[in-house]
């Protein structure tokens, strides 16, 4: 589980546009062979004399054995850091630290899994799907996005999954609506045993609520703003209920990014719940 | 070479990348009496060549620290500087007393940038007398062979006066600087970037400010060992602090960018010193204060460096 991360200077192999997103394949031996589905990498942006101090965290979309091991990242341009990444060309170098985080736990016995992806959160689900299928699991995809060009990996999902349900908020592809509108139907039809989800927080909250209603386990990979990705900066915390029932502010980078959905207090993300361990004026203070 | 307080986690995170026992010392995040959940998110905002943070001293409290974190460091033989933070003089004293019989404490660093509950929430470091009061009581509660380091904030009218008060209060060394308070506003959401509003600014953006503080304090108190920090990302940056008067250098935000920053900067610094013909770091400490050609000065009062 706890594969120790390494820092490597990787060479960019290919860059491509995928609808609204960018995909970057980087030769990164050492990172690639340790990666499990759900792991992420911390990427330094801006080159060696950068003024951007924090690393950007990206889920690993794909790992291939070519050239000693490559990883593929999918991202969208959100600021100067990701804009710099989007301008990289083949043979440029990129400083990566990885693999980071705790990967998706896999079921011991074959079962039926629904994989839910929001926007480019679906990127990390395909490696997971492969791993599940190798264990004899049945997988079904539910992918959603605001519009068709922001729906990532629909074709691949159709090839891999037993069924694939697409939703867009503007109705440009698949059903009009959100993944949570169709998820109960998919869970009921497939008699799913477990749900895996990756995407925006609001979606994870909705997916968790559906899974709890069906009383099946749900594993969510959260997106939080991170500075270091290795667990030292303490900025990516969110309230999660521990095994002892106590809520703690835990780091998404080292304690996550994969959590049991029902343990994450989604409605309190961005706050310190009054009953969290060490909260101001709380019962543990 | 040290890690800066609050930038190295518990030590376990960095140990994945390099041997923490090779550090001059590992400085813990500020330990508080009770567990603290810290501030709400977002806690971090990137600024040009810098980083604003408002974590709010999240930590498990001193008891969990003593049972889970310190023994791990002690087992490995890492030299550990325990940073402590409190809201009252009594809390600092209690923390120092609690640490006094714990094995594996190389030194105690007093984080003076905590709001003083008894002084309308103004930080201790803002005023010489309250800083000295904390330092004196921690000094009294700490074992005689464990040095007490006062960590100073740059947000003061006269850093030399605060430094002098701390030394008079019994500080064996000074660590400077803590992060100056900064703020950024997100123009898209039209709200402060940090949930807490303001935060501490770190990174290369504050290095000139830090070097100035080290320079001024070394000029006024040449016999007091100074741990310089603030935006050190390379051996050259570290040497800048040494030449200004620091006899040890701590690395903070650079760890977020490069987990190997400490061993790399130490190697770079060693190379730079060798290139310039120094046999030991102590010979370079404060050298920028002396015009070229001036005779060697007595350095017998300086503590041996961590290199």
The answer to whether B7 is a known catalytic residue is no
Q: What is the pLDDT of residues B189-246, one digit of tens each?
A: 999 988 888 889 999 999 999 999 999 999 999 999 999 999 999 999 999 999 999 9
Domains of chain A with bracketed CATH? 6-100 (2.40.30.10), 112-221 (3.40.50.80), 225-276 (2.10.240)
Does B50 sit within 8 Å of A231, measured CB to CB?
no
pLDDT score of B296: 54
Cβ atoms B99, B82 nearer than 8 A = yes
pLDDT score of A283: 45
Nearest CA distance, B256 vs chain A (angstrom): 4
Query: Locate tokens 């017998």: which residue?
Result: B300
Single pTM value for the model: 0.84
> What is the chain A residue with the closest CA to B253?
A53
Separation in Å, CA B69 to CA A142, A257, B9, B56, B61? 43, 23, 10, 19, 11
Does B51 sit within 8 Å of A237, measured CB to CB?
no
Option in A53, A97, A269 nearest B50 (CB): A53
Cβ atoms B79, B119 nearer than 8 A = no
Does A237 sit within 8 Å of B41, measured CB to CB?
yes
d(CA B273, CA B205): 25
Q: Cβ contacts (< 8 Å) between B36 and chain A: which residues?
A: 278
CA triple A144-A150-A156, angle to 5 deg: 70
- Mean of per-residue pLDDT scores for chain B: 87
pLDDT score of A158: 85
Tokens of A55: 């690393």
Q: Cβ contacts (< 8 Å) between A272 and chain B: which residues?
A: 37-40
d(CA B71, CA B60): 15
pLDDT class for A285, splitting at 50, 70, 90?
very low
d(CA A209, CA A232): 32
Question: Cα-atom radius of gyration of chain A, to the nearest Å?
Answer: 19
Residue B68: CATH number of its domain: 3.20.20.70
d(CA A268, CA A272): 7
pLDDT score of A284: 42
Q: Does B119 map to a domain?
A: yes
Q: What 3-state class would DSSP assign to B224?
A: coil
Q: What is the pLDDT of residues B91-112, one digit of tens each?
A: 899 999 888 888 888 899 999 8
Does B256 sit within 8 Å of A55, measured CB to CB?
yes
Instruction: For residue B84, give the nearest of B53, B118, B57 by alpha carbon.
Output: B57
Does B51 sit within 8 Å of A54, measured CB to CB?
yes
Q: Does B300 map to a domain?
A: no
Q: Does B296 map to a domain?
A: no
pLDDT score of B306: 54
Nearest CA distance, B131 vs chain A (angstrom): 24
The residue segments making up the domain with residue B17 are 2-289
Q: What is the pLDDT of residues B76-85, one digit of tens each?
A: 888 889 999 8
Counted domains in chain B: 1
Q: Does B301 map to a domain?
A: no
Cβ atoms A165, A174 nearer than 8 A = yes
Alpha carbon A206 to its chain centroid, in Å, reads 16
Q: What is the pLDDT of residues B263-304, one digit of tens each?
A: 899 999 999 999 999 988 888 999 898 877 665 554 545 555
Q: What 3-state class would DSSP assign to A124?
A: helix
Give the max Cα distance, chain B.
59
Catalytic one of B114, B166, B247, B262: B114
Q: What 3-state class would DSSP assign to B64?
A: helix
Cβ atoms A34, A71 nearer than 8 A = no
d(CA B157, CA B179): 15
Option in B34, B50, B256 nearest A278 (CB): B34
Question: Which residues are CB-contacts of A144 (< 8 A; sequence separation ≥ 6)?
Answer: A116, A117, A118, A119, A151, A166, A167, A168, A169, A178, A179, A199, A203
Average pLDDT value for residue range A226-237: 84
């Amino acid at each position: 589980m706890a594969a120790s991360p390494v820092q490597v200077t990787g060479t960019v192999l290919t860059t491509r546009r995928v609808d609204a997103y960018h995909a970057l394949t980087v030769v990164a031996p050492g990172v690639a062979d340790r990666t499990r589905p759900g792991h992420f990498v911390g990427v330094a942006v801006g080159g060696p004399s950068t003024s951007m101090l924090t690393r950007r965290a990206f889920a690993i979309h794909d790992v291939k054995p070519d050239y000693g091991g490559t990883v593929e990242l999918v991202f969208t341009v959100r600021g100067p850091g990701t804009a710099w990444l989007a301008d990289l060309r083949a043979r440029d170098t990129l400083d990566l630290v990885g693999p980071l985080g705790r990967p998706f736990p896999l079921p011991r016995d074959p079962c039926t899994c629904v994989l839910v992806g929001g926007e480019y959160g679906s990127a990390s689900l395909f490696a997971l799907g492969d791993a599940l299928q190798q264990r004899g699991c049945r997988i079904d995809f539910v992918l959603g996005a605001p519009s068709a060009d922001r729906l990532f990996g629909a074709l691949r999902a159709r090839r891999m999954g037993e069924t694939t349900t697409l939703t867009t908020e503007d109705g440009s592809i698949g059903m009009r609506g959100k993944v949570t509108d169709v998820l109960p139907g998919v869970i009921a039809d497939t008699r799913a045993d477990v749900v895996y989800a990756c995407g925006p927080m609001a979606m994870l909250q909705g997916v968790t609520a559906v899974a709890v209603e069906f009383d099946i386990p749900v594993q969510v990979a959260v997106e939080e703003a991170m500075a270091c990705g290795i667990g030292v900066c303490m900025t990516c915390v969110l309230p999660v209920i521990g095994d002892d029932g106590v809520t703690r502010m835990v780091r998404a980078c080292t304690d996550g990014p994969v959590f049991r959905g029902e343990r994450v207090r989604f409605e309190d993300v961005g706050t310190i719940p009054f009953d969290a361990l060490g909260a101001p004026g709380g019962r543990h203070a | 070479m040290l890690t800066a307080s609050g930038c190295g986690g518990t030590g376990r995170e960095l140990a994945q990348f390099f041997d923490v026992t090779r550090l001059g010392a590992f400085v813990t995040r500020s330990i508080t009496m009770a567990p603290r959940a810290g501030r709400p998110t977002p806690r971090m905002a990137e600024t040009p060549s810098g980083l604003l943070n408002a974590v709010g001293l999240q930590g498990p409290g001193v008891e969990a620290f003593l049972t889970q974190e310190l023994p791990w460091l002690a087992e490995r033989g890492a030299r550990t500087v325990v940073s402590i933070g409190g809201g009252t003089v009594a809390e600092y004293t209690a923390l120092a007393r609690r640490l006094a019989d714990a094995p594996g404490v190389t030194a105690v660093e007093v984080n003076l940038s905590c709001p003083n509950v008894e002084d309308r929430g103004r930080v201790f470091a803002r005023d010489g007398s309250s800083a000295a009061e904390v330092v004196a009581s921690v000094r009294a509660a700490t074992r005689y062979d464990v040095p007490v380091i006062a960590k100073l904030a740059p947000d003061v009218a006269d850093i030399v006066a605060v430094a002098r008060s701390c030394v008079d209060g019994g500080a064996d060394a000074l660590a400077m600087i803590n992060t100056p308070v900064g703020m950024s506003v997100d123009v898209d959401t039209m709200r402060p970037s940090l949930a807490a509003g303001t935060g501490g600014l770190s990174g290369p953006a504050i290095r000139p400010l830090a070097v100035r503080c080290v320079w001024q304090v070394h000029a006024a108190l040449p016999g007091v060992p100074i741990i310089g920090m603030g935006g050190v990302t390379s051996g050259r940056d570290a040497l800048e602090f040494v030449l200004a008067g620091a006899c040890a250098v701590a690395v903070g935000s650079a760890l977020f960018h490069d987990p190997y920053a400490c061993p790399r900067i130490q190697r770079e610094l060693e190379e730079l010193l060798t290139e310039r013909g120094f046999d030991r770091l102590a010979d370079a400490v404060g050298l920028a204060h002396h015009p070229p050609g001036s005779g060697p000065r007595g350095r017998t009062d300086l503590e041996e460096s961590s290199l």
